[in-house]
Amino acid sequence: MPVTLHPITIITGKAVPVPGANMDTDRIIPARFLKCVTFDELDGKMFYDERFNADGTSKNHPIDALQHAGAVIIIGGENFGYGSSREHAPQAIKRSGIRAVVAESFAEIFFGNSSGIGLPCVCASAADLESINENLAKHPEAEWTLNLESMQLSNGEKDYPVHMPEGPRNAFLRGRWDSVTELLEAREAVQKKAASLPCPRTMR
Amino acid sequence: MGKTLYQKVWEAHTVGKLPDGRTQLFIATHYVHEVTSPQAFAMLRESGLPVLHPERTFATVDHIIPTDDQHEPFADRRAQKMISALRTNCRETGIRFFDLPSGQQGIVHMIGPELGISQPGMTIACGDSHTATHGAMGAIAMGIGSTQVRDVLATQSLSLSPLKVRQVRVEGQLRPGVTAKDVALHIIGKLGAQGGLGYAYEFAGSVVQQMDMDGRLTLCNLAIEGAARCGYVNPDETTFAYLRGRPYAPQGADWDAAVKRWKSFASDADAVYDDIVRIDATDIEPTITWGTSPDMSVGISATLPELSHAENDEQKRAWQAAYEYMKFAPGEKMKGKKVDVVFIGSCTNGRMQDFRAVAALLRGRHVAAGVRALAVPGSQMTAKMCEKEGIADIFRTAGFEWRLPGCSMCLAMNPDKLTGDELCASTSNRNFKGRQGSPTGRTLLMSPLMAAATAITGCVSDPREVFINTQL
């Protein structure tokens, strides 16, 4: 039987800016943190080299600013999650307490990885992101609400429209974002496909 | 109305529509490696799910493998733990593992085509973004994350939405000294690092038709650097000739039937594309990146862009940050910049044709003093052939460290790393900040020809000038 996880509908909390286009997966989680057989050690490692110098001193990234402490929403730029397929990237973000990412656009693989682990990624227009960032600069400690039903990001004063393809959005709202549950249901159809499609095998 | 290869392969592998509106897509061939699979196997164990089709998954070890001494246990205990975990996972689930003693180990995107496992008309997935490489065989090949690796292991399928298809036509004749790598960097520079979002790229046109398989693999490998999750080339006689006789390719009577089937997947002449981009081959120079994203590139004779030429504020800020990190300035030329390290290898340029081309230039020449030069064949099969053809010795004699197969200095998950702010001429695929293992290390992406010229002179060089008396 497929497992229904908790639906993800409304996310409320502080936001933190991680600006710039093409925020790549090597910056989200440097490769040295990938040397593990679980995702357990990724808590707190997101954007590590963006936040800390080699000697461990702070680069004063907004993530580490007191006003943004405990933020649950990242405000990013264009092509967020560009690069590698490493799920360690959204895992590091999620395990560091982030529950949603708002950006102008997302790299395909990053988006798929995030959706599969229950981390919604929604798009906002460049103009709205600018306004959101201005707002965030003025009121860094403000509470924001991301609503996947109404598809709006709001700070109580202003509502910004956000977008996400219907498929993953439905999956979040229905609590079926872990895709394996639904994929398992079509076992027979998969077996039929497997029988009809060649499988590479060696004669030697 | 005709169909593209992408549409045909997608339809042939569609299991059905999922309740959320996405497609359940059957994955014909699946590759796993040590970095992104252990979490997936752990998830399977936790939920008590078996591997549905172990015969359709193939494993290798590449990212963490040292390239100087591969005796176990490795000095890095974490690396040892990762290879050991993969061994256990494959043994317990019946997955074929091309382990170190197999003679067939190598970078996953090298061995799939080399062994003839990646074939036209297939859907191919692997927990690695450069899976796009296998599209050169005429397949839909894509990178996935670990949770999706679990999905493929458990259900041999993925939940996906189809991409749009952009045909990238490269027409004309490439100029001497211009390689598939330069074509790819040129395309990414032109369309932008985010230009391919939402698209699969069909590489076409006379240049691609004439390109050998190793070149096509390089081209498709870099589709993802332009944000296109898949890149592919329609299968043709070049593809079939490459596959013929490879260990996993069909044989005997099966071969003819397979070729006939493969041909049917090629895009129809009247296929409709969501977008078409035309590139004039004569516009392409030997190309080099100067920044921290693969789209920050210039032809070797051009000057670095002025900030005022940025398309918008966002790009201006990105360029400014890149100049600061790279310690370069607008208006400068890349030519003549002194490098510390030269790296020839990776899933982008670690193939036979890459080493053959460079070896032909290295005879009688030597790596410049003060330059550390690494040549790392991408697979054991390639390494063996390089020894057999005398290529490895040419590299050694020229002063290169000739290494054992692996991902090496592409991504800093093994001992091959930059230190401090070293400048590296690299044939790999990413120039992201910190990519090569030092948080301040600097990467210049280029072709193997330019890397060879740079190794010899010790500073960024135009291969057409260094090898002026050699036919490039």
- Average pLDDT score over residue span B50-67: 98
Q: For residues B467 and B472, what is the distance between their CA atoms, to the nearest angstrom? A: 8
Domains of chain B: 5-264 (3.30.499.10), 287-466 (3.30.499.10)
pLDDT, tens digit (0-9, with 9 covering 90-100), for A45-97? 999 999 999 899 999 999 999 999 999 999 999 999 999 999 999 999 999 99
This model of the complex carries an ipTM of 0.95
Residues of A in contact with B432 (CB under 8 A): 24, 26-27, 83
Quickly list H helices, B101-246.
Answer: 108-114, 146-155, 180-191, 206-210, 213-221, 237-243
Q: Which residue is it, tokens 């081309």? A: B357
Q: How confident is the model at residue A3 (pLDDT cuts 50, 70, 90)?
A: low
Look at the alpha carbons of B267, B272, B275, B277 in this order and tell me if their dihedral is positive or negative: positive
Q: For residues B444 and B428, what is the distance between their CA atoms, to the nearest angstrom? A: 9
- Percent pLDDT > 70 in chain B is 100
pLDDT of residue A201: 87
Polymer length of chain A = 204
Question: Which three-class secondary structure state does DSSP give residue A139?
Answer: coil
Per-residue tokens: B132: 């796009």
Q: What are the angstrom distances between the C-alpha of B436 and each of A53, A156, B199, B236? A: 17, 44, 28, 36
CA diameter of chain A:
69
**DSSP of B283-303, one letter per residue?**
GPPPEEE-SSSTT-EEETTSB
Task: Please state whether the predicted TM-score (pTM) of the whole model is above 0.90.
Answer: yes
Residues of A in contact with B76 (CB under 8 A): 35
Q: How confident is the model at residue A202 (pLDDT cuts 50, 70, 90)?
A: confident
Strand ranges, E, within B266-359: 275-280, 287-289, 297-299, 341-345
Does any CB of chain A come closer than 8 Å to the CB of residue B37?
no
Residues of A in contact with B131 (CB under 8 A): 85
Q: For residues A39 and B52, what is the distance between their CA atoms, to the nearest angstrom? A: 24
Chain A CA closest to residue B163: A108
Residues of B in contact with A42 (CB under 8 A): none
Half-sphere exposure of A50 (CA within 13 A, CB side): 22
B window 5-24, beta carbon within 8 A of A: 12-13, 15-16, 18-22, 24
Q: What are the angstrom distances between the C-alpha of B294 and each of B181, B249, B285? A: 11, 34, 16
Per-residue tokens: A12: 């409320």
Does any CB of chain B come closer than 8 Å to the CB of residue A61?
no
Is residue A1's pLDDT more than 60? no
Is residue A144's pLDDT more than 80? yes
Q: Looking at the complex, report in whole angstroms how far the Cα of residue A195 sits from the nearest Cα belonging to chain B.
A: 11
A window 10-39, beta carbon within 8 A of B: 20-22, 24, 26-27, 30-32, 34-39
Domains of chain A: 10-177 (3.20.19.10)
Is residue B366's pLDDT more than 60? yes
Q: For residues B258 and B251, what is the distance between their CA atoms, to the nearest angstrom? A: 9
**DSSP of A78-100, one letter per residue?**
TTBTBS---THHHHHHHHTT--E
pLDDT of residue B353: 98
